[in-house]
Amino acid sequence: MAPRLVALGGHEFRSRSDELAIVEYLLRLTGKECPRICLLPTASGDPQEGIQRFYTTLDRFACEPSHVSLFRLERERVDLREHLLAQDLVYVAGGSMLNLIAIWRAHGLFSVMREAWERGVLMAGQSAGAMCWFEHGITASAGEPKVAAGMGLLPGSLCVHYARDPHRRTAYLKAVRDGLAPGFALDDGAGVLFEGRRAVEAFSARPDARVIRVLAGGVEVPLRPIGLRHRLGLNRDPAVDELRELRRAREQLRGVRARAFAR
Amino acid sequence: MEAGNPLLDDYVLELTGRDRPRVCFLATASGDADDYVVRFYKEFAGGRADASHLGLFRRRRGVSDVRAHLLSQDLIYVGGGSLLSLLGVWRAHGVDAILREAWERGVILCGLSAGALCWFDTSLTAYYGSPERVNALGFLPWSFTAHYDSEPARREVFHRELLAGMQRGYAADDGAALHFVGTELHRVVSSRPRARGYALRKDGARVIEEELATEYLGAPAHEGRIRVRPYPALQRAFAAGAAA
């Protein structure tokens, strides 16, 4: 199977139905009953509250969530490569694209991310975490929006928060007119699924969230995304409750072990 | 920013020679962790200093002209965390060059752990478990490791790297601080009675590790003032090291 990646124009781990619809979409794409999903919150400096929101949101789904904090590897002691390769889904959170790329480069993560992607781990990311896969993105990491280089696993460029941030749109269209390789523009709540280097599906979890193909010269061509829906309250799957208990028990065990180890 | 021990913070503040020095905190190595930034303000705000911080993860908020802000400080305080992440992010934002300019213009630079390792040419980071050599900013043309007493593996690796050709340098226990003027070591002070600094160099097939005379800042003679006295023994040791 070709490597797959989902680029999101803006998404948060919150309990709103459109945000949940995207989580559900990603989990379903893995094709697993209980997918392993790992959060990489590097771009925002691994903030605890963001990590907590991820776990709180994922708690209602059948999955095995984990996260890797590059800023706390010292304490967490995981083999990053091994951990990422064992996942069904890796979700790269947003923040500063400039910092994300700089930190991944400094830690030698480009090759690990490429390897995981090529080996069939579904990659997903929102905002900076989506743009980092392309040759270029439009980042506000240093204040005013401007072009920043990504890892370049996918061709062309990506611009996120398209409707919400008009300055970003202006900067993107100008850059494309000035010769930047064209690509996609995504509103918050919308995204594109790539297979290999090819876009195969545009989707949107909000009625007004757009997926726009931006052509050379800065021509915007809106695509017609498929609509994602999540119906709150209808996911009382007994398997999820069971899983939740299992996770709690495991966390407790881990706590007991850590305390025993500390002594 | 040692919990409950202000001795080293007092020392760096006094070095500025100002009643209310301008102090800017860089928490880059921790990913601009909120709780760390809050701790900095608790220690440094409130009359002692004109405190600010420079966040590099949310640039749209906060300081707009990074260069002007850093150059206008009396003291720049760098927090601990991941050395590799700190170096990557600083380089991406051009902060490394600005800090060099600030240092050359007389702004005092200080920091702990990753925030101390960053200034040297070669430093040991233990971020992935076992200590590894990292090329850092190189303002100080020496090698360096922190946590010399608390992480025993660092001594072994530091010695091994020296024998493998790493340039001579320094080590510091937790609570010990090396004070450089220009690129030369000026004093070694500490916030804990038993903390020490060390000078290390290769001599033939062995490593010479010298414990440096370290002034405990909590000793009665120190209370309320800083004594400035030269270290002739130390300077000789380094003249010898340079000649070897």
Q: What is the pTM of this model?
A: 0.87
Instruction: Average the pLDDT over B51-76 and give the result.
Output: 90
Give the residue extent of every domain in chain A.
Answer: 4-232, 233-263
What is the average per-residue pLDDT within B97-117? 96
A127 is catalytic: yes
| From A127, A141, A157, A204, the catalytic residue | A127
> What is the C-alpha separation between A190 and A228, in angstroms, rounded?
9
Alpha-carbon gap: A165 to the closest alpha carbon of chain B (Å): 13
3 state SS of B79: coil
Do B58 and B143 touch, CB atoms closer than 8 A?
no
List CB contacts (< 8 A) between B58 and chain A.
95-96
Quick check: is B147 catalytic? yes
The ipTM of this complex is: 0.84
Could you say which residues from 111 to 170 on chain A have a Cβ atom under 8 Å away from some Cβ of chain B? 140-143
User: CA of B167: how far to CAs of A37, B139, B155, B199, B212, in Å?
Assistant: 44, 14, 15, 11, 18
| Residue A98 touches partner B, C-beta closer than 8 Å | yes
Nearest CA in chain B to A128: B57
Q: What is the average pLDDT score of chain B?
A: 88
Residues of chain A with pLDDT under 70: 74-76, 232-237, 257-263
Q: What fold characterizes domain B1-118?
A: Rossmann fold (3.40.50)
The arithmetic mean of pLDDT across residues B186-202, rounded, is 96
Indicate which residue of B53, B143, B147, B190 is catalytic: B147
Residues B200, B168 contacting (CB under 8 angstroms): yes
Residue B132 β-bridge partners:
B125
CA distances from A168 to A191, A242, B61 (A): 17, 44, 16
Q: What is the pLDDT of residues A109-165, one digit of tens each?
A: 999 999 999 999 999 999 999 999 999 999 988 888 999 999 999 999 999 999 999
Per-residue pLDDT, B1: 85
State the amino acid at position B128 in one-letter form: Y
For residue B75, pLDDT over 90 is answered with yes
In the prediction, which pLDDT does B242 show?
31
Which pLDDT score, from 0 to 100, does residue B233 have? 37
Which of A46, A101, A143 faces B59 most closely, judged by CB atoms?
A: A143
Instruction: Inform me whether the pLDDT recorded for B232 exceeds 70.
Output: no
In angstroms, rounded to a whole number, what is the distance separating the alpha carbons of residues A27 and A76? Answer: 25
What is the C-alpha radius of gyration for chain B, rounded to an integer number of angstroms?
18
- Give the distance from residue A95's alpha carbon to the nearest chain B alpha carbon, in angstroms: 7
Q: Domain A4-232 is of which CATH architecture?
A: 3-Layer(aba) Sandwich (3.40)
Instruction: Pinpoint the residues of chain B covered by CATH 3.40.50.880.
Output: 1-118
- pLDDT for the residue numbered B83: 94
Are the beta carbons of A148 and A137 closer than 8 angstroms? yes
Tokens 């200080």: give the residue.
Answer: B110
Q: Of B39, B34, B82, B81, which is closest to residue A52 (Cα–Cα)?
A: B34
What is the token pair recorded at A195? 């297979």
Tokens of A65: 């969530």
| pLDDT for the residue numbered A75 | 67
Residue written as token pair 């829906």: A229
* Residue A129 · residue A43 · CB < 8 Å: yes
